[in-house]
């Protein structure tokens, strides 16, 4: 059988990795796929660099539309990123009957429903293993390996840049900007790094996983998104003293609120007990913890970003698509794991309705009665305290920090209690609130 012909759009960090790994492991990959996989053309704005990277082994053009409209090409790999030209190219490739492989989580989390519907109608695949957690085969695990389970929740460290920043700041005492620059240099960060540090990239990935885990459409607009830019070093230290580590988690979870089922979909800094395996995932590494009713908890760990780790996932998708011609095409796996006519319409819950535990840090005047006022407010809001820590004030210091860990409660109770705390004359400034998940 002749090799399947591929057009690569964008030969940057991931595109170059894909080109190199495919060339290096061609023989082994062909044995797995049952047919050769050949990149016959590359499109990139920087044709000089593209020519250098491909070493004259394939055609190089600057206009990606040429490849999308080339009848010779069977599969388009979209590695440009963003939702502008990438969306247009992906939709045109599908309209032209080509399969698509993409690592573009931003595109899928925002326009996935339209893209998957178009692909379904055309009978082509849109494969996106690389879009979530880079090299970790979490899409395959959720869509296929865990297919027997009713997924109850998943929680993941799914942004390498922010995990790298949090680890380096804690371990080496480096400042935020220095570590972010290093993450950019290493190719982990998005073209717009605010997507990483403000939690948007993690929310894109959590949105895609929520769709696959629960059989719901992708709904990025309903995700709660909170990054690490407001996180203070003092909270990282207090959390450590209390036996917790702070990680940026993407969480998708089934919940029943007032007798109705909903989905919590949220990204925010989260305290996790230090003894949990996932709390010890450091640097740019990613990990996703999935709780299924039959299997229990499973943990997937590996490199979530970088040139060749991400290429590993891109090429796995290429092989899957190639196998359509070498295996029975009737047995394809649906894009979002569930059959398109069996999707559920469960609501994404507003943040006020979610249930979790909380870390609260207050700066207070060190005088009698302050603690009593705070505990009264929590008791009135039916919030139970799990642990409390008061720092010894420094000499001549009239203020001190109080840290409170709560048991599980609804977000709206905590928000109301914080408003009352902040209204006390003895509480200085704003109360720092970080959500805490025991993940047990």
- Return the H-helix or E-strand segment holding 275: none
Under rule CB under 6 A, residue 272 binds ligand NDP: no
- Please pick, among 5, 98, 140, 205, the residue that the annotation labels catalytic: 205
Under rule CB under 6 A, residue 169 binds ligand HSE: no
In the complex with ligand NDP, the residue whose CB is nearer, 80 or 402, is 80
Under rule CB under 6 A, residue 159 binds ligand HSE: yes
Output the smallest distance, CB 188 to ligand HSE, in A. Answer: 4
Under rule CB under 6 A, residue 13 binds ligand HSE: no
Contacts of 229 (CB under 8 A, 6+ apart): 197, 198
Size of the site for ligand NDP (CB under 6 A): 27
Give per-residue burial for 257-288: e unless 16+ CB within 10 Å, then b.
beeeebbbbbbbbbbbbeebebbebbbbbbbb
Span near ligand NDP by CB under 6 A; candidates 208-216, 231-239, 243-251, 304-312: 304-312
In the complex with ligand HSE, the residue whose CB is nearer, 201 or 401, is 201
Question: Residues within the annotated binding site for L-homoserine?
Answer: 190
In the complex with ligand NDP, the residue whose CB is nearer, 132 or 146, is 132
Span near ligand HSE by CB under 6 A; candidates 44-52, 159-167, 269-277, 362-370: 159-167
Residues 98 and 120 sit within 8 Å (Cβ to Cβ): no
Burial of 220 (0-12, 13-18, 19+ CB in 10 A): buried
The binder of ligand NDP chosen from 54, 104, 312, 356 (CB under 6 A): 104
Contacts of 343 (CB under 8 A, 6+ apart): 215, 216, 217, 336
Burial of 91 (0-12, 13-18, 19+ CB in 10 A): middle
* Structure token pair of residue 205: 């990935």
| DSSP string covering 125-180 | -EE-GGGTTTTS-HHHIIIIITTTS-EEEEEEE--HHHHHHHHHHHHH---HHHHH
Under rule CB under 6 A, residue 158 binds ligand NDP: no
* Structure token pair of residue 242: 């209390």
Under rule CB under 6 A, residue 300 binds ligand HSE: no
* Structure token pair of residue 62: 């600057």
Under rule CB under 6 A, residue 226 binds ligand HSE: no
Span near ligand NDP by CB under 6 A; candidates 4-12, 23-31, 166-174, 374-382: 4-12
Output the smallest distance, CB 228 to ligand HSE, in A. Answer: 12
The binder of ligand NDP chosen from 12, 112, 137, 199 (CB under 6 A): 12
Contacts of 111 (CB under 8 A, 6+ apart): 83, 87
Q: Work out what residue 43 binds among ligand HSE, ligand NDP, none; the CB cut-off runs from 5 to 8 Å by kind.
A: ligand NDP
The binder of ligand HSE chosen from 116, 128, 153, 188 (CB under 6 A): 188
Mask: binding to ligand NDP, 387-416, rule CB under 6 A, as x and -? ------------------------------
230 is catalytic: no
Under rule CB under 6 A, residue 201 binds ligand HSE: yes
Question: Residues within the annotated binding site for NADP(+)?
Answer: 9-16
User: Scanning the structure block, which residue is given the tokens 């007990």?
Assistant: 273
Residues 247 and 272 sit within 8 Å (Cβ to Cβ): yes
Catalytic residue IDs: 205
């Amino acid at each position: 059988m002749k090799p399947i012909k591929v057009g690569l759009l964008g030969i940057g960090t991931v595109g170059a990795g894909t080109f190199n790994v495919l060339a290096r492991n061609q023989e082994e990959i062909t044995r797995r796929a049952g047919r050769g996989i050949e990149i016959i053309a590359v499109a990139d704005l920087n044709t000089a660099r593209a020519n250098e990277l491909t070493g004259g082994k394939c055609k190089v053009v600057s206009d990606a539309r040429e490849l999308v409209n080339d009848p010779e090409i069977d599969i388009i790999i979209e590695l440009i990123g963003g939702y502008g030209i990438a969306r247009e190219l992906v939709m045109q490739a599908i309209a032209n009957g080509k399969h698509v492989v993409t690592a573009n989580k931003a595109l899928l989390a925002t326009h996935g429903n339209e893209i998957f519907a178009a692909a379904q109608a055309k009978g082509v695949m849109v494969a996106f293993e690389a879009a979530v957690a880079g090299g970790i085969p979490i899409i395959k695990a959720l869509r296929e390996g865990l297919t027997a389970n009713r997924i109850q929740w998943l929680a993941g460290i799914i942004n390498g840049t922010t995990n790298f920043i949090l680890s380096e700041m804690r371990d080496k005492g480096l400042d935020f900007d220095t570590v972010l620059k290093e993450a950019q240099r290493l190719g982990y960060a998005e073209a717009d790094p605010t997507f990483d540090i403000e939690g948007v990239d993690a929310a894109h990935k959590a949105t895609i996983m929520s769709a696959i885990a629960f059989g719901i459409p992708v709904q990025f607009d309903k995700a709660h998104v909170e990054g690490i830019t407001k996180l203070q070093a003092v909270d990282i230290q207090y959390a450590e003293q209390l036996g917790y580590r702070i990680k940026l988690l993407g969480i998708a979870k089934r919940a029943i609120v007032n007798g109705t089922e909903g989905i919590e979909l949220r990204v925010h800094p989260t305290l996790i007990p230090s003894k949990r395996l996932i709390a010890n995932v450091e640097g740019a590494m990613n990990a996703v913890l999935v709780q299924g009713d039959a299997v229990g908890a499973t943990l997937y760990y590996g490199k979530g970003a970088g040139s060749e780790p991400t290429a590993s996932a891109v090429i796995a998708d290429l092989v899957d698509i190639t196998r359509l011609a070498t295996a029975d095409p009737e047995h394809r796996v649906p894009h979002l794991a569930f059959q398109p006519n069996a999707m559920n319409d469960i609501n994404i819950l507003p943040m006020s309705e979610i249930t979790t535990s909380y870390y609260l840090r207050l700066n207070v005047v060190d005088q009698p009665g302050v603690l009593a006022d705070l505990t009264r407010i929590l008791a009135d809001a039916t919030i139970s305290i799990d642990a409390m820590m008061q720092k010894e004030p420094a000499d001549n210091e009239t203020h001190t920090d109080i840290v409170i860990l709560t048991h599980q409660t609804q977000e709206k109770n905590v928000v109301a209690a914080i408003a009352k705390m902040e209204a006390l004359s003895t509480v200085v400034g704003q109360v720092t609130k970080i959500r805490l998940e025991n993940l047990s």
